[in-house]
Amino acid sequence: MPTLPMHRLSKLAPYFLSVLRIFAAGSFLTHGTMKLFSWPASFEYPLNPMLYTAGILEVVGGLLLLMGLFSRPTAFLLSGLMAFAYFIAHSSNSFFPVLNHGEAAMLYCFIFLYLSAAGPGVWSFDASRAQSRVG
């Protein structure tokens, strides 16, 4: 049985990083559009100032990350937002994320924290801007 040479996949890492950023940002964006625009479905809770602020950050931050523009500071800010959301809305219900329904917040928190350190990948406006400064 032939084995896949895994070291060859490392050449694709910058592209996979972009795919991770694009899909995470696109999914995250819909949390904000639900709160602010009732799309793709209505948000099930009434909006208070904290949820309204979260919705704005989710839409604006989600769009910036989707494009890969100002990715590192945006991802860092959104990571903090999701840590805050986890501890405010979920952790008091149970220690385990699977029981407190905080899995999405926890995963977004760490995906965004990773993106703040790793950058947006090659398919991003940030990468294009960096390339144009170099060459």
pLDDT of 131 > 90? The answer is: no
Split at pLDDT 50, 70, 90, the class of 135 is low
Peptide bond into 40 cis (omega under 30): yes
Please give the pLDDT value at position 8: 82
Average pLDDT over residues 19-30: 98
15 contacts 121 by C-beta, under 8 angstroms? yes
pTM over 0.85: yes
Q: What is the dihedral of CA 47, 49, 55, 59, to 10 degrees?
A: 140
Express each pLDDT in 42-60 by its tens digit.
Answer: 999 999 999 999 999 999 9
